[in-house]
Structure 1
Amino acid sequence: MPGSRSFGLRAAALLIACGLPLSGTGPAMADDIDWRDVHQRVESGEYVPLATVLDWLEARYVGQVIEVEMEREDGIPVYEVEMVGPQGQVVEFEFDAADGSLIGIDGTGLRAMERQ
């Protein structure tokens, strides 16, 4: 239900906000991005909070967040959020961290994930 974030989204937001990995495999940010810098930029308003991006996704798509990363693509800070949908499909959403706009979607079965 939109507006009441699921445990998976809250956990992902908490982990990334603390700079912790979402899995045991390593950091959730590219090697050239320091979580302290990201936190400072969110606090100063230069980047939108990850929670804003997760709220946007939850309002529009059904699924569970399985991975969140922050990378730089062509110099642009990008939140990458990977979700698994109700049919087991995996879709990656990319957001410009500066303004929160959706800049890309990669995967199949997106229509089955759309909220009605």
Structure 2
Amino acid sequence: MKLRKRLLPLILALLTSGGILPLASADDDDWRDLHQEVKKGHLVGIGEIMDWLEARYEGQILEVELEQEDDRIEYEVEMIGPRGQVVEFEFDATNGELLSVEGVNIEAMRKSP
């Protein structure tokens, strides 16, 4: 929950600046369309992704993007770990599946089970 609270201002800033919506033109309805896709269950909400990350990794969110890669919509979440390492997590936005993790010293960010 702490991670999500810290992320809320970032998400709001990104939504209002258009930085989180590179899927289409900078049309004001784009974010509404994506919100409807989440409400209909076609896309996983960012809150679920943040809960998953908070349960498994130490760190702070630097950036969140929602992008279309080929025929897939993905969340890209960049975090900075306790030792200053930057790690990028990619999730399939339709089902929340972790697709990849890239960065240095990722294991140092992992929480103990």
Instruction: Classify the TM-score, shorter chain.
Output: 0.7 to 0.9
TM-score (ref. length: structure 1): 0.82
| Residue type of the alignment partner of 2:22 | A
Residue 34 of structure 2 aligns to a residue whose secondary structure is helix
TM-score (ref. length: structure 2): 0.84
Matched, 1:28 2:20: yes
**Once superposed, which parts of structure 1, at least 4 consecutive aligned residues long, lie more than 4 Å away?**
none
Which residue number corresponds to residue 44 of structure 1?
40
Of all paired residues, the percent bearing the same amino acid is 46
Deviation at 1:90, TM superposition (A): 0.5
Aligned length: 108
| Residue type of the alignment partner of 2:105 | G
Q: Per-residue CA shift, 1:32-87, capped at 9, x if unaligned? A: 27212210100101011100000000000000011100001111010111100000
Residue 58 of structure 1 aligns to a residue whose secondary structure is helix
CA root-mean-square deviation: 2.2
Structure 1: runs of 5 or more not aligned: none
Q: Which has the higher helix share?
A: 2
Whole-angstrom distance in 2 between the partners of 1:43 and 1:25: 22
